[in-house]
Amino acid sequence: MAVQNLGKKDRFVPSEPSGTHHDFRRTTCTNGRKNVGNAGPMSGGLNIDRDLAGKARLKKCPCGGRLHRANYPRKPRGVAEDLPREYGRRLSFCCERDGCRKRVTPPSARFLGRKVYLGAVVVLVAAMRQGPSPRRVRELSRLFGADRHTIARWRQFWGEQFPRTPFWKVQRGHLAPAGGITALPLALLEAFLRGDDPVKDWGRLLEFLSPISIAGGLAIEVSR
């Protein structure tokens, strides 16, 4: 699994959001639909995917064969209807050689593996749900169309599965200071959403998470 190596100067330092964690969640939730679900801000994810796909194609198939485009359809949920048409397809390739035809699907900044909701929605909603508020669940369901059972699964993913992946065990050291990392994925939002441009901020966050979007990216290390 490819892991993004960050130098000291590239480390992401969690920002100091104005007010409390509650204020940060409330502000982000209020603007979440605009910053995550609409065509403008989320077009950055498509551009990142195109770049990742271009790099994957240059590497060719493990057998040495050239890769031909073999995109497949996806129907992302939790987004505005005016997203680019290309958002309904996962960029992928297939080896040209007979007897191989291996599919090579590069990492994605839009989709977290097989989850039907856009990755940005899975991150945002789970972060905003951190807190015992039935009212918040209803608000998130109204904004993004995810029922409480789906939201509960996302919280379980971030709280139990994601922290046990080799990806996170390596990358958490680049989120300085390490002691400032609290509940996930809220800590990721605080680390990355600290600028004035939500397109760039979300792009950086989703590109950071892109290695977990491919097969094996969410493998869990079992303690012996």
The answer to whether the CB of 129 falls within 8 A of the CB of 136 is: yes
> pTM of the predicted model, to two decimals?
0.77
E-only strand ranges, 15-144: 67-69, 72-73, 89-90, 93-95, 103-104
66 forms bridges with which residues in the sheet?
none
Confidence of residue 4 (pLDDT cuts 50, 70, 90): very low
For the record, the structure tokens of 170 come out as 């390596």
pLDDT digits (tens, 9 = 90+) for 93-149: 999 999 999 999 999 998 888 888 888 888 888 887 765 567 777 877 877 888 888
Q: Where are the domains of the chain?
A: 13-213
Instruction: State the pLDDT at residue 28.
Output: 56
